[in-house]
Structure 1
């Protein structure tokens, strides 16, 4: 077998391995928002309704949502929640605490409070990568809920959307509701695969040219 054929087979083998790895690590962003609300979900449809019922909710109006199941094995898992009017601390008040919980397969685990500030939309980012249960729960469909105004001081909050992103995701989103997420460029691994195949094709053309000469 010629040296060129040997190198070509090695290149094809590497490409095949890369394809296999991509199949198990496809970047995905699952977006939960008004468009796919269920009867017990209250993501707001547009910014103009952020102060309106039933979206602007306080204590005793807690709710939650489920993300779509995402198959595969992941290197990163990040949950981003867009919230409006998470009030800052004020003298004489404990401050608004809207606690986020994620189901770990057996119980609800507190992941921290919503971030943000008065009268703005902002994402709260929760990195789930290091949790041993996260992969299985994402595969099954991650369940999330929140306890609004934990201290019952009269605070209210509206959610715009929640994005569950694995391996960098395939969509870019802004916190403002009603603004569609946009696709991101193809994963680097697929780009590298295309480059490898193009290089192999170039080598074959050059070899044919030499033989013809």
Structure 2
């Protein structure tokens, strides 16, 4: 049994939850509000970011990329052709490139500002950045999501999945970030049918069900969030 220190709307945490779900691994999710900077949490991950994976007999595993590598090295061979990080070097490079695109670039330009402004700041004290959302930040992120969605659409039109012929970490990373902002209604799905069709396939997987069942009090989910035929 794993323990995952996470926030329900942290996109990287959602990415790891999807991986664990695809592997069929049991996990106990524990919500961590990173802005509180708990001393016990900072001892596990001095960077002060989620996710952090805890398992008996190993040090705490911090950060989405490190956790993804750990899970592949530990469980990847067991699932054979369903391995989420391919074995050939060219394929591994492409999967890792796209993982970084979403967990770093998309996060910085889109999902982090939207989740921070529209969700996290509701729970943060004013002296540490809480308060009303900054409309300029939200507007910029909503503009940025359009070119990211177009890139996803191009990948989906030219490949079976984002990184190639089968499901990989790349698909789960992209879907995790999109799911967090789709909850808020900030994905312009009408602008790219290929991206929308790809996301519908990923969203329909059993590993996605726990994410779609989570709701935030006072912030209703968008119409498209739980609809598998959106």
Q: Shorter-normalised TM-score: what interval? A: under 0.3
* Structure having the larger proportion of residues in strand: 1
User: Which structure's relative contact order is higher, taking Cα pairs within 8 Å and 6+ residues apart?
Assistant: 1
* Structure having the larger proportion of residues in helix: 2
TM-score computed with the length of structure 2 as normaliser: 0.23
Larger Rg: 1
TM-score computed with the length of structure 1 as normaliser: 0.24
